[in-house]
Amino acid sequence: MTNREFSKTDKRFVEACESAEVKPTVRQASKWRRHKGKAWKWAKE
């Protein structure tokens, strides 16, 4: 699965992005999968 597909289909990722007030972009999906970025930090808390 590509990051583009992941950013559109993974519900947990999309919810974390909304809560962290960032757009669920391909770049954010890449960071999420490497356990980096604002969305990942928000989900960990």
Domain residues of the chain, as ranges? 3-44
The pLDDT assigned to 14 comes to 96
The pLDDT assigned to 43 comes to 87
Of 43 and 22, the structure prediction assigns the larger pLDDT to: 22
Give this prediction's pTM.
0.87
Q: What is the pLDDT of residues 23-38, one digit of tens each?
A: 999 999 999 999 999 9
pLDDT (average), residues 15-24:
95
DSSP the chain: --HHHHHHH-HHHHHHHHHHT----HHHHHHHHTT-HHHHHHHH-
Sign of the alpha-carbon torsion through 27, 32, 35, 39:
positive
- Amino acid symbol at 44: K
% of the chain beyond a pLDDT of 70: 100
The rounded distance, in Å, linking the Cα atoms of 26 and 45 is 23
